[in-house]
Copies of this chain bind each other. A is one copy, B any other.
Amino acid sequence: MALRRRRNRSPAPPPSCPLLACTSLIGGAWAPNVIWYLSGGPRRFTELKADIPPITPRVLSKRLRELEKAGVIDRRVLPTSPPSVDYELTALGRELLPAIQAIVDVGTRLTATGASPMASQKR
Q: What is the oligomeric copy number? A: 2
Q: Which residues of B contact A79 (CB under 8 A)?
A: 1
Q: Which residues of B contact A11 (CB under 8 A)?
A: 36-37, 39-40
User: How many residues of A are in contact with the other chain, CB < 8 A?
Assistant: 66
The answer, yes or no, to whether A59 is at the interface (CB within 8 Å) is no
| Most chain B C-beta atoms within 10 Å of own C-beta, residue among A8, A41, A106, A116 | A106
A13 neighbours in B (Cβ, 8 Å): 36
Q: Give the residues from 44 to 86 in chain A that come closer than 8 angstroms, CB to CB, to chain B.
A: 44, 47, 51, 69-72, 79-82, 84
Are A22 and B69 in contact, CB atoms less than 8 angstroms apart?
Answer: no
- Shortest C-beta distance, A72 to chain B (Å), equals 8
